[in-house]
């Protein structure tokens, strides 16, 4: 059923088929009745993100409004709504509801007032305690998803959102893949032309560790095709030799950046890693978040 609906969300389907497929997974109520005081907080080529007041809950929420006719990859909308509806965890951004409003999809979700991890890593150098605290929360979300055969496929600092109290949550589920018992590995990996599984998220998590130490991911200034070629042909990325990292952090990265996916660490294994003994209560990163909010 899921795969059939997903096919109806492909670029080859008509607008009517696409809208019908989405209507099967969204709420039927009109969200505008329960929302007020909209304020733009983000804008892209295919939609906007607004903060709004949810009257019934008496709280601020985020509302993603996406124009159905402007989506080049329609299945991403279906993916995001389905995954966020079906999988809830303390370290995953919560979706309250989703709705079709005219030619727009509205997704009402919790408001992450602290912004993204990207905002933090580009403005400050995090301590290993702070890195471990973020890593622990992200790995908990990944273990939860992976145990349910879900691959996120877009783990990066932009996809990690923060609450003012230091809580870290994974967002952006459009690229998710759902594995099955019949197909425990996906059959397309652009870089190496090999099937892949949940280990793809662990590689991306490793890249995010580098971001938290160095402020940007490796190969950041390379063109995408060249970067993919370098990842395929060259040794796995590691920390810059000038980075002052502990043996524990270096070892965690090395367990993420194993090119043989069958030998790469799992989220469950990484949750037992010695680096995470440095993690503290999420409040230890709250001042980084508050500094970022004040800058903006």
Active-site amino acid positions: 154
Tell me: is residue 169 an annotated ligand-binding position.
no
Cβ 182 vs Cβ 173: under 8 Å: no
Distances in Å between the Cα of 2 and the Cα atoms of 40, 118, 215, 223 are 33, 33, 39, 35
Can you tell me the distance from the alpha carbon of 105 to that of 126, in angstroms, rounded to the nearest whole number? 37
Please check whether residue 201 is in contact with residue 179, taking contact to mean a CB–CB distance below 8 angstroms.
Answer: no
User: How does DSSP classify residue 92?
Assistant: B
Residue 265 tokens, joined: 């660490």
Q: Which residues are annotated as a binding site for ATP?
A: 64
- For the annotated binding site, the residues are 64
């Amino acid at each position: 059923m899921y795969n059939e609906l997903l096919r109806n969300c492909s670029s080859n389907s008509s607008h009517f088929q696409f809208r019908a497929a989405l209507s099967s997974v969204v709420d039927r109520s009109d969200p505008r009745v329960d929302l007020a005081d909209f304020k733009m907080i983000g804008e892209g080529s295919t939609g906007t993100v607004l903060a709004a007041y949810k009257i019934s809950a008496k709280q601020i929420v985020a509302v993603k409004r996406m124009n159905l006719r402007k989506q080049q990859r329609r299945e991403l909308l279906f993916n995001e709504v389905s995954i966020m509806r079906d999988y809830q965890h303390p370290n995953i951004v919560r979706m309250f509801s989703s709705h079709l409003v005219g030619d727009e999809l509205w997704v009402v979700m919790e408001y992450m007032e602290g912004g993204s991890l990207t905002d933090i890593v580009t403005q400050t150098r995090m301590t290993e305690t702070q890195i471990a605290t973020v890593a622990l929360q992200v790995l908990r979300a990944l273990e939860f998803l992976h145990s349910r055969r879900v691959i996120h496929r877009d783990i990066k600092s932009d996809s990690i959102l923060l609450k003012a109290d230091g809580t870290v949550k994974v967002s952006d589920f459009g690229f998710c893949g759902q594995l099955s018992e019949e197909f425990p590995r996906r059959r397309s990996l652009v870089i190496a032309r090999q099937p892949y599984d949940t280990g793809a998220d662990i590689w991306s998590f490793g890249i995010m560790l580098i971001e938290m130490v160095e402020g940007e991911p490796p190969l950041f200034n390379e063109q995408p095709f060249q970067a993919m070629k370098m990842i395929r042909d060259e040794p796995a990325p590691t920390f810059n030799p000038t980075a002052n990292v502990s043996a524990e952090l270096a070892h965690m990265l090395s367990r993420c950046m194993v090119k043989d996916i069958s030998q790469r660490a799992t989220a469950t294994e990484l949750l037992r890693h010695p680096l995470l003994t440095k993690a503290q209560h999420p409040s230890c990163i709250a001042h980084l978040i508050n500094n970022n909010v004040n800058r903006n």
